Structure 1
């Protein structure tokens, strides 16, 4: 059922974008009250489902405008068993929510994909606990058992890969990779870091990537960094083999720490052009990083600014134009 599972086009080094911060967009721009930050819960309601469809169409239109690929990340960051139980979903209902989230993306791909804009479907896996806090940790085996049901569901759908977002300690990452390997699913691990460039667990990004690779025989297709401002982690990206394993960035526009973001009552959406310039600097240093998107507080304005800043590095004759959303 998967179109790209055996060959994922972002591995060919063409530029791919992702969406921005789905949950913060739905809450602060669309006026939805998301229980426990769970976007998948909206799929139960026609108006909520339509809002999510419209959200994705915005990024599909943007990708078509700039003739780049797009990774469609499913609205399932919270759709695992602990969060699902808290929201009142039993096992079968939770599995169906994960299936419906992928089916929505499959329908969009069938209608919207073009030769210049390949659309890759990713089943999003979130952490069992708080993405900002690594106080509670599972063992590698415990993490594998915990994440298996969601990944098993994705393996039966049109999802091309799974992407684990906002992972903050290495044992959970290893468990997710092993669960994906058990079901033959390509997997990406996206770590989050604090303002010092280290995971919330205190481990450096380099040692975390090296430990996961060693424990899983380089199981992840590649790694990403998400939910941190580029100024938090840029200095951590030093020369070394581990940097070559990082292919994607989904940064925040806000420079606030995780603790500050947790306490914030208003959205800090930073400055799209400034964020774009940070991405341009990173692309100049690390041209192999070709999956570019946003996280908390970002929206289509930020992703367009990233396109404007980074496409001239890919296409030397790309002509700057005013932002469509300006």
Structure 2
């Protein structure tokens, strides 16, 4: 094990004790606004690739970095304190669907560098901006069978997940991430593989970044897809001593309230994050979703006023307009108090 070194992300705990920080919004929603073609996704480099590449948003960090840079800067201009790298599916398992697994590490390095450049451009001494290296859940699940006729079947194992996540962490840190965000967790075993890989990387390199862990409650049952309640989920990942734990995706803000309240009860010693989606798709609304920037920001303001959150932002369907409205709504409200001493000192 190498001596521990820390990054600029270590400033986050003291900031979170002073104010609520704002995370950016959806990447996919913004990419769709550009109406990119198959040729745009391919670029010159992949023009002869044997599989369709349209909608592989992670690839755009290599073929259309201008698009990703524009999206990052839009969120920063709207007031985001933290922006996520364009790497939700930039792992070997997800990219193998496009026959691009060999490029996954490069995607992570490039994506982190794009976010780093944008964050540095908008940072100031009184308002630093941070880059969250995003690790998505992969399209496979270690806990659930893909075959209804064979409950014991699996299409991935822990070691394959660990290896894919380790490679991703290497790229995200090399590219300049300030923290690591294990997000949209629908299978806790997948998340454990990611956390194991992160810890393995920390031990090997001596570099240590703050971690944020964000699960997703899939429906009104109050459970993630692999069956755990929010409380059970927290106790399964608590050993990682994250900077923050929270929920994102799947539900709009209105339906998230009881689960964020539950996290508050069981996790008093860590910060809480919440970045809901913009509701259900609704072709009759101006934004295309049920929850407009005004609705989403008003709900998150209620969460803040109730003392439930430390980090807020937006997931699927949200835009810079949502983030600007959230920034304005929560600006005057105090951050949630946290009994942080044991957790953070042990992690440091």
Question: With structure 2 as the length reference, what TM-score do the two structures score?
Answer: 0.75
Structure 1 unpaired stretches of 5+: 64-68, 316-326
Query: Do the aligned residues in 1 keep the contact of 2:294 with 2:322 (CA within 8 Å)?
Result: yes
Q: Answer whether contact 2:93 2:101 (CA < 8 A) is retained.
A: no
State whether residues 21 and 297 of structure 1, in contact with CA within 8 Å, keep that contact through their aligned partners in structure 2. yes
Deviation of 1:311 (Å): 1.6
CA contact (8 A) 1:180 1:186 kept: no
Distance in 2, Cα, partners of 1:110 & 1:311: 22
- Structure 1 counterpart of 2:345: none
Q: Is the Cα–Cα contact under 8 Å of residues 78 and 324 in structure 2 kept in the other structure? A: yes
Deviation readout 1:55-84 (Å, 9 max, x if unpaired):
111122222xxxxx6112100101000222
Give yes or no for contact 1:38–1:76 (8 Å, CA) kept in 2: no
Q: 2:314 aligns with which of 283, 294, 297?
A: 294
Q: Is the alpha carbon distance of 1:111 and 1:2 closer, same or farther for their aligned partners in structure 2, counting shifts above 3 Å?
A: farther
Aligned to 2:77: 61
- Aligned partner of residue 272 in structure 2, secondary structure: strand
Contact 1:126 1:166 in 2 (8 A): yes
| Residue among 229, 240, 249 paired with 2:265 | 240
1:249 aligned residue: 274
Name 1:229's counterpart in structure 2.
252
User: Structure 1 residues 15 and 36 mapped into 2: Cα distance closer, same or farther (>3 Å)?
Assistant: farther
Partner residue of 2:30? Answer: 25
3-state DSSP of counterpart to 1:195: coil
**What's the RMSD between the two structures over aligned residues?**
2.9
Pick the aligned partner of 1:162 from 139, 160, 180.
180
Q: Distance in 2 between matches of 1:76 and 1:241?
A: 30
Shift in Å, 1:199:
0.8
3-state SS of paired residue (1:162): strand
Q: Return 5+ residue gaps in structure 2 as ranges.
A: 42-52, 147-153, 203-208, 336-348
Q: Distance in 2 between matches of 1:57 and 1:207?
A: 37
- Which aligned pairs between 1:1-326 and structure 2 lie closer than 5 A? 3-8=7-12, 10-27=15-32, 29-32=33-36, 35=53, 37-45=55-63, 48-63=64-79, 70-91=81-102, 93-129=103-139, 135=145, 143-184=161-202, 185-196=209-220, 197-213=222-238, 217-227=239-249, 228-236=251-259, 237-238=261-262, 240-242=265-267, 245-255=270-280, 267-268=288-289, 270-287=291-308, 289-314=309-334
Q: Which deviates the most, 8-17 or 95-104?
A: 8-17
- What secondary structure does 1:183 align onto? helix
Contact 1:134/1:168, CA 8 A, preserved across alignment: no
Secondary structure of the 1:240 match is helix
Is the contact made by 1:177 and 1:219 (CA closer than 8 Å) also made in structure 2?
no
Distance 2:58 2:198 in 1: 21
- Deviation of 1:222 after TM superposition, in Å, equals 1.6
* Count of residue pairs the alignment pairs up: 294
SS at match of 2:89: coil
Q: Is the 8 A contact 2:18 2:334 kept in 1?
A: no
Shift of 1:139: 5.7
Query: If you compute each CA radius of gyration, which structure gives the higher value, 1 or 2?
Result: 2
Normalising to structure 1: TM-score of the pair?
Answer: 0.80
3-state SS, counterpart of residue 312 of structure 1: coil
Offset, 1:6 = 3.7
How far off is 1:248 after superposition?
1.2
**Which portions of structure 1, spanning 4 or more consecutive aligned residues, are displaced by more than 6 angstroms?**
none
Rounded to whole Å, the distance in 2 between the matches of 1:72 and 1:124 is 9
C-alpha change, 1:218 and 1:127, in structure 2 (3 Å) is: closer
